[in-house]
Amino acid sequence: MRAVTAHDRSAMRALSYLRPKSLATALQALSEDPQAKFLAGGQTLLPALKLRLAAPTRLIDLQAIAELRGVSVAARHLQIGAMTTHAEVARDADVCRLLPALGALAGGIGDRMVRNLGTLGGSIVNNDPAADYPAALVGLNAVVVTTRRRLPASKFFRGLYETALDADELVTAVEFPVARRAAYVKFKNPASRFAIVGVLVAETDEGPRVAVTGAGSVPFRVPAYERALSRNFCAQALEGVVTEFGALNSDLHASAEYRAHLIPEITRRAALEAARVIKRGE
């Protein structure tokens, strides 16, 4: 094993660790050190640290802040704390009763380790273009609650790995309106289980919504599909509907053309599954 030299030590950056028990303490710690980073589930940040793609001076671990965890129900909304893990969302009784599509989505993220460590807030703040939750936020017209404001999902996701959050702003929860019925289907990468294309179809009080993830730099809606479903909420209503998707992602997993081919098929499957769900309230 090679010994660590003085040059190696000089290249290393000091990294301190803090595990606050309150949101106020966490925010105070960040204000004292602008180079600090919040640590949620660590599924993206810790690998980035190992690869030296990130070099914060301090990690502020949010795991011990109870006010950032859990699910509550009020006025036909589910509020889910930012530090609630995917596994907790997937098995929560209220989620499974009121928004089973969201529970199924969370249960299909990654593997067991990822689901037990990764968090809702960490996922949406990272805004990986292949993540599942962004489709749920846009498709269900969710609101992102931060330490400063309330942001509709349509304004939260800005670009590739980019959100509307300011550097000293923290997501505390996400509010999901309860849809009449919904379903999420994805064509997944068999290794990572990220969405090559994922589609959430929902029948909401404002009408049908179709949101796509995995295909673009940000999740996006498909108005042509929504109009077709507003006339008849069934998979057959999508037959013959032609639409342009604009610029789509192209990478080693799938070309833009292949993703354009997948979107109509995955949307049809999601609509078929959603149409089978008994409407909320019936």
Is there a domain that residue 270 lies in? yes
Q: Tell me: do 176 and 211 sit in the same domain.
A: yes
For helices 256-276 and 223-231, give the axis angle rounded to 10 degrees.
Answer: 30
Domain endpoint, select from 61, 79, 96: 61
pLDDT for position 49: 85
Q: Tell me: do 186 and 210 sit in the same domain.
A: yes
Q: Tell me: do 108 and 18 sit in the same domain.
A: no
The pairing of strands 143-146 and 220-221 is unpaired
pLDDT for position 1: 41
Is there a domain that residue 190 lies in? yes
Domain endpoint, select from 61, 81, 100: 61
Q: Tell me: do 203 and 107 sit in the same domain.
A: yes
Q: Tell me: do 112 and 252 sit in the same domain.
A: yes
pLDDT for position 8: 45
Domain holding 231, by residue range, is 70-276
Q: Tell me: do 52 and 78 sit in the same domain.
A: no
DSSP-derived letter for residue 5 is P
Q: Tell me: do 251 and 111 sit in the same domain.
A: yes
Q: Could you read off the pLDDT of 245-257 as tens digits, one per residue?
A: 989 999 999 999 9
Q: Tell me: do 235 and 126 sit in the same domain.
A: yes
Query: Which H or E run contains 260?
Result: helix 256-276
Domain total in the chain: 2
Q: DSSP per residue over 85-97, as a string?
A: BHHHHHH-HHHHH
Q: Please list the ranges in the chain whose pLDDT falls under 70.
A: 1-13, 280-282
pLDDT for position 281: 55
User: CATH number, domain at 21?
Assistant: 3.30.43.10
User: CATH number, domain at 130?
Assistant: 3.30.465.10
Whole-model pTM above 0.95?
Answer: no
Half-sphere exposure of 75 (CA within 13 A, CB side): 1
Q: φ and ψ at 135, to 5 degrees?
A: -65, -35
Q: Tell me: do 224 and 148 sit in the same domain.
A: yes
Q: Could you read off the pLDDT of 97-118 as tens digits, one per residue?
A: 999 999 999 999 999 999 999 9
Q: Tell me: do 78 and 170 sit in the same domain.
A: yes
